[in-house]
Amino acid sequence: MSTSNLFYSIRLLSETKHYSDVVQEILSIVLQKYSVSTILFLDYIDAHGIQLKDIKGQTMDVILDYAELILEDDYLSDIEIQNIRILRNFFCIEDGEFLEYGKRERVESILVEQLEKLYADNKIDKDEMLHKSELQGLFGLGYDDYQEIVNKVAIEAYSRGADIRDLDTYL
């Protein structure tokens, strides 16, 4: 079964199970790449001289795969947000590290896709403001980094005739 099919199965599980069960499934996918069980993972990497920082790029890719999947419906549930937080914590991914580990283009692509949908009607309502905030937190982006991405999309909306006061941004 491909990673995307496994994530689809996990998404279905997340609708009915507690988030810790879903995170366990996600961790299993990540750990399959190293042919170890969740229980043996830390022993395995220690015995092989691997540090979490050595596989951080790969674990980030899996988290980004999961983020793309959960954002297909343009909604982040509390469980999905919690899943990402748990995965980031488990793999010691700090705020800003998605950008530091060469994932900027992929993170920006995910965010731009979401932001373009939010800005399609040339305004941001209260629910969309909350979604924007959740997106920033999902990847642990700092204000300046996130605002740079938001402004790219907001400028497009402004050029389509949007009122700057409706865009929830500072240009």
| Spatial separation of the C-alpha atoms in residues 16 and 37, rounded to whole Å | 24
Q: Residue 160's domain spans which residues?
A: 99-171
List, for residues 109-140, the tens digit of each pLDDT value: 999 999 999 999 999 999 999 999 999 999 99
Task: Verify that 76 and 114 share a domain, yes or no.
Answer: no
Task: Verify that 77 and 1 share a domain, yes or no.
Answer: yes
| Spatial separation of the C-alpha atoms in residues 141 and 148, rounded to whole Å | 11
Task: Verify that 148 and 114 share a domain, yes or no.
Answer: yes
| Domain edge (last residue) among 42, 58, 93 | 93
List, for residues 81-92, the tens digit of each pLDDT value: 888 887 888 788
**Distance from the Cα of residue 79 to its chain's centroid:** 13
Task: Verify that 87 and 103 share a domain, yes or no.
Answer: no
Mean pLDDT to the nearest integer, 72-98: 87
Put simply, whether the predicted model's pTM sits higher than 0.85 gets the answer no
Task: Verify that 110 and 166 share a domain, yes or no.
Answer: yes
> Vertex 60, ends 127 and 83: CA angle to 5°?
45
